[in-house]
Amino acid sequence: MYKQTTIDSSINVACTLIPIQGYNLLIPNHCIAEILIRAEIKHFNSPHSWRIGEVDWYEEKLPIIHFEKSEATAKLNPGKKNIIVAIQFPINKTEIIHFGILANQTPQVIQANNQTMDREINPRKTHNYALSYVLINSKSALIPDLHRIAVSLQKSSRKSA
């Protein structure tokens, strides 16, 4: 027999709202390893226009992506600060991929729940790396497909190795 389930509206998910050009990214805090302020990016040419360089991070090279550049039509106006959000994402049961997302301004920790978040019915635009568009505390945000980004970075790093 079918059992009806209910959603607990009191569940809070700690997230970080990352301001990028034109909108925000909403990422769960358990995927954020660190926020780097004024990190020196070593720029280089990449087959992906959105992979702009890397940062020395502990004992590895952290690839940095400019999320807006993953859309071919994006016109960029970089922010004044060099803020990088270091992401950690399990690509499978044994491997965690690390990468950084360039932010336009200082990220903000926010609680996501049924009271603070609504799904946008008609987002202003679609994005190849978007899972969903939401309104959170009246701010428009995109939930990025971290798995797709991590797999793409993993494939490109294997080709260059």
Closest CA relative to residue 54, chosen from 43, 66, 45, 46: 43
Listed in sequence order, the residues at least 6 apart from 84 whose beta carbon sits closer than 8 Å to its beta carbon are: 35, 36, 39, 41, 55, 62, 64, 100, 101, 102, 103
pTM surpassing 0.85? no
Residue type, 65: I
DSSP category for residue 156: H
Alpha-helix residue ranges (DSSP H) falling in the chain: 146-160
Phi, psi (deg, nearest 5) at residue 5: -110, 150
Q: What is the pLDDT of residues 135-154, one digit of tens each?
A: 888 888 889 999 999 998 88
pLDDT band at 129 (very low <50, low <70, confident <90, very high): confident
47-51, 58-62, 78-82, 88-92: segment of lowest average pLDDT: 78-82
Whether the predicted pLDDT of 99 surpasses 90: yes
Q: What type of residue is 116?
A: T
pLDDT of residue 49: 75
Domain 14-160: CATH superfamily, name plus number: CheA-289, Domain 4 (2.40.50.180)
Distance, in Å, from the CA atom of 145 to the CA atom of 153, rounded to the nearest integer, reads 13
| Residue 26 pLDDT exceeds 90 | yes
The C-alpha atoms of residue 158 and residue 135 are separated, in whole angstroms, by: 37
Q: Which one-letter amino acid corresponds to residue 89?
A: F
